[in-house]
Structure formats: C-alpha cells, structure tokens
Amino acid sequence: MTAPNSKVAIVTGASRGIGAEIAKQLASDDFAVAVNFASSATEASKLVVQLRQAGHQAIAVKADVSVAADVSRMFDEVEAQLGKVDVLINNAGILQVMPLAQHSDELFDRTFAINTRGTFNTLREAANRLNDGGSIVNFSSSTVGLNLPGYSVYIASKAAVESLTQVFAKELRGRRITVNAVAPGPVATELFMHGKSEEQVQHYAKMPPLERLGQPEDIASIVSFLVSPAAGWVNGQILRANGGLV
C-alpha cells in the first residue's frame, strides 16, 4: 500500500509500452505515480485502475508533451492531486523509420516536437517545480550509437536529448537533483514492432550478444535504480541498455 507521504513521480507517455511498465515499477517502489498520455485515455485509465486496485496512489493526466501549456497544466494537476513532484521520467517518444531523402517536413517537425521539444518542455518546467533531492530520467536510444540507415531524424532528435541531459545536470548544481538518460536498444513494444516483418524482428533480436529483444521490464528496472538512493552518485550520464548491442 502506498503511504500518503509517498514521493511523487510523473511518467510521460505511460499509457503503454516502456512508460506503462515504468509506472508499475515506480508504484511498487512506493511512488505516487502520474500516468501521462496524449491520446490513449482508455489505456491510461485502465493502468490507473490496476495500480489503485493494487493499493497504489495513481492518477492519469492528459498532456501533449510537445505543448508547453499542456506540460505546465500537467504539473499543476499533479501538484494539486498528489503533491510536489520528486521524479520526472521523460519517456514519451515517437519513431517512424524513413530514409532521410523521403522524410517530409511534417514528420521531421513532429519527431523533434515530441522527442526533443517534449523533453525540453518538461525539463524547463521541472527546473522550477521539482523538489530538491529529486531525479530526472530522459529517454534516448541506442540507435544514436548504431547510426542505422532510416533512423537519421529519430537519432538526431535523441542525440539532442542526450545533450540536454548532460548540460541540465550541471545547471541544477546545488539542488541535489540527478539528471540521466537511458538509451535502450530494441524493446518489444508497439514503437519498435510497428511496420517490421517477423524476419526483421528476429534480425534485431539476434544482434546483441544476449540474443533477444529487450522487454519493457528490462528498462523499468534501470529507471527504478536511477531514481533510487543507490544511484545518488550517478549524474549527467547516458546509460545504454541493449544486451551488449553497442
């Protein structure tokens, strides 16, 4: 059962995939959890019901992370319902695999709006709103190290997230807030599976020496560590989690 004075965590893009698993993990770590979503309201409320039935404190909060006013309102709602925020997990992200030459302006803008500006928006809000002693985990991708064809714009949007992470960790000097990023390799979620044949999925699964796809639980346990006192000395780092792929 979550104690009434639990620390408070926001997980962006928590309606499914890695974010939903992080929300479950942080709830069982005794955080009161805000499950953010942009459009998947049904999935987000199902998850909140599941967490509450297990005795945890959880709310669903609709906000498009690419819109600064939404992000500000999300912090207002979380503060009003759960209390001041201790932990921010910037998990929301999109991927569309497309050779650079075929990328539309719209897809370029959308990828940067959600992956990069979305992270920027929540970090800027967190600068004034996060409790001292808190922690932030951003989401990059191991594709930044692989330079895979078809991933140029996605990789560029995530490379920018890595830079934001490293500089922001330094800008929060004196606040005892850690800022790190996790950079997963292929994880079996909708984002990765979409548009791939079984053969392509198997190809990716065989790439790391551990010879399997990552599971959302593999990533959630790393996030759990990064926001725990055990990781209090890890700051400004990019942690690649990919079974040894790169």
Which residue type, as a one-letter code, is found at position 245?
Answer: L
Q: Which is nearer to ligand NAP, 172 or 245 (CB)?
A: 245
State the residue for tokens 């330079």: 147
Q: Based on the residue annotation, tell me whether 154 is a catalytic residue of this protein.
A: yes
Segment 7 to 46, residues that bind ligand NAP, using CB under 6 A: 12-19, 36-40
Q: Which is nearer to ligand NAP, 31 or 192 (CB)?
A: 192
Q: Which is nearer to ligand NAP, 202 or 232 (CB)?
A: 202
191 contributes a contact to ligand NAP by CB under 6 A: yes
Q: Which is nearer to ligand NAP, 114 or 130 (CB)?
A: 114
Q: In the chain, where does DSSP find H-type helix?
A: 17-28, 41-53, 68-81, 105-111, 118-129, 143-146, 152-171, 190-193, 198-206, 216-226
Strand order in the sheet with 32-37: 58-62, 32-37, 8-11, 87-90, 135-139, 178-184, 238-241
x-marked contacts with ligand NAP along 45-84 as a string, rule CB under 6 A: -------------------xxx------------------
x-marked contacts with ligand NAP along 138-167 as a string, rule CB under 6 A: -x-x--------------------------
Catalytic one of 154, 168, 192, 204: 154
Cβ-Cβ contacts under 8 Å for 201 (sequence gap 6 or more)? 193, 213
Extract the tokens encoding 77. 């709602």
| Catalytic residue positions, numbered | 154
